[in-house]
Amino acid sequence: MSSPAISIIVPTRGRAGQLDACLACLRKQRFDGHFEVIVVLDGPDEASAGVADRHRNGGLDVVVVESARLGIAEAKNRGIDTARGELLLLINDDILPCAGFVAAHVEAHETRAERALVVGWSPWKVQEPDSLFARALRETSMVFFYDQMITADGVLLRHREHDWGYRHAWNLNLSLERSLAAEVGGFRPALANCCYEDVEFAYRATRPGGLGGENGLIPVVFEPEARAEHDHAYTARGYLEREWRLGYSAYGFAVAAPEAAVAVFGRDVAAPEEYAFARAFVAREGGREGGFMRVFEGLEGVAPDAGGVGEAGRWAVELAYGQHLMLKRLAFCRGLIAAFDGEEREGLFHPNHGLETRPGLRPCVGEVGAGEQKSRGK
């Protein structure tokens, strides 16, 4: 079989249903060339391996990489190690690519004179029942910043060549040259939680004095035709749990990659004074949390068009967005405090676990079983 034009890397762990839907969409691609899909299992996962095998039998070129449980960054490194395409496409297992998704990513690189990180459009899938909370998630910057890039009906808010910067290089839908990933050195294994590994990777690729472009920069450009809905349903509490994980992982980010972490946060979040500030903030503001939380959770039971349509409806969304800000900050601070205190949380990695802080596409090393990796499907 000829070498693929692009290798799609899908890290996954315990989400066979989402992976099944994603691979089903990839089987429906309208693309004249050859692409491969590399499913990287972050730890034993027979159900997901079975899903991948079924889609391979259905005609999709799928490689399954079975690795020890070492986190999202190392899973991506293993995918890059395995990839044969000149282009890489990093995606989440819970996106639903449109039929022209792969072609749009390939064309975005073929039509450019210089290298770029190409971020595709992954709007939130509307879940049923819909709510004002879910609408606020879709239409504001609660998680991603697509609201700054494109309107809900697909009108670009900046010109197509605008450089959005490393903060927008989200790996749920991002393509780049494989050679660029190798030059950057891959992902930092220590950033093992699904939080900051993509931002830190993009920071190294795009910072001034970096790896390319006539001005020494690699831009992050937006390609709206590379569209894949993000099929991820959040509850209000689930959203705040995510913010707790972001706070917890911020400490490890600052330990493993201090320069990038300071660039992202504007300060050293691993400094003792940050710990003192977080504790003081929680002590001062935590008493008001109950009232805010009742309203925030209540948004899940409010119709998405509350306040009417047009400007009035937009005001309702903005009010819903504003409601969460103090709760978000409390959750982040509590997660940061837990990391400072060395608290262990099931499923999350901490600097105490000793994962490699340097970037690099190297074989895993460690105790028996930690470096085992095998591929199947070729």
Do 150 and 113 belong together in one domain?
yes
| Residue 19: Cβ within 10 Å count | 25
Question: What CA–CA distance (Å, rounded) separates 156 from 223?
Answer: 10
User: Is 360 contained in some domain?
Assistant: no
Do 218 and 255 belong together in one domain?
no
User: Is 77 contained in some domain?
Assistant: yes
DSSP assignments along 313-369, one per residue: HHHHHHHHHHHTHHHHHHHHHHHHHHHHTT---TT---GGG----S-------SSTT
Is residue 10 within 8 A of residue 91, CB to CB? The reply is yes
pTM for this prediction = 0.93
pLDDT digits (tens, 9 = 90+) for 179-234: 999 999 999 999 999 999 999 999 999 975 554 444 458 999 999 999 999 999 99
Do 81 and 211 belong together in one domain?
yes
Spatial strand order in the sheet of 87-91: 95-97, 220-230, 117-121, 173-177, 87-91, 6-12, 35-42, 62-67, 373-376
Do 150 and 46 belong together in one domain?
yes
pLDDT digits (tens, 9 = 90+) for 137-167: 999 999 999 999 999 999 999 999 999 999 9
User: Domain boundary at 233, 257, 278, which?
Assistant: 233
User: Is 76 contained in some domain?
Assistant: yes
pLDDT digits (tens, 9 = 90+) for 181-193: 999 999 999 999 9
Do 121 and 105 belong together in one domain?
yes
Do 208 and 329 belong together in one domain?
no
Amino acid at 316: A
User: Domain boundary at 233, 254, 281, which?
Assistant: 233
Per-residue confidence (pLDDT) for residue 362, from 0 to 100: 56
What's the average model confidence in pLDDT over 93-122? 97
Shortest CA distance to 38 belongs to which of 145, 205, 181, 223?
181
Do 59 and 99 belong together in one domain?
yes
User: Is 295 contained in some domain?
Assistant: yes
Q: How many domains does the chain have?
A: 2
The greatest distance separating any two alpha carbons of the chain, rounded to the nearest whole angstrom, comes to 63
Domain holding 317, by residue range, is: 237-347
User: Is 220 contained in some domain?
Assistant: yes
Do 247 and 119 belong together in one domain?
no
Per-residue confidence (pLDDT) for residue 369, from 0 to 100: 30
Token digits for 67? 């690795």
pLDDT digits (tens, 9 = 90+) for 238-248: 999 999 999 99
Assign 368 a pLDDT band (cuts: 50, 70, 90). very low
The residues with which 173 forms a beta bridge, in sequence order, are 91
Assign 364 a pLDDT band (cuts: 50, 70, 90). very low
pLDDT digits (tens, 9 = 90+) for 280-308: 999 999 999 999 999 999 999 999 998 77
SS3 273: helix
Angle of helix 289-298 versus helix 325-340 axis, rounded to 10:
120
- Residues 6 or more apart whose CB falls under 8 angstroms from that of 18 comprise 12, 93, 94, 231
User: Is 261 contained in some domain?
Assistant: yes
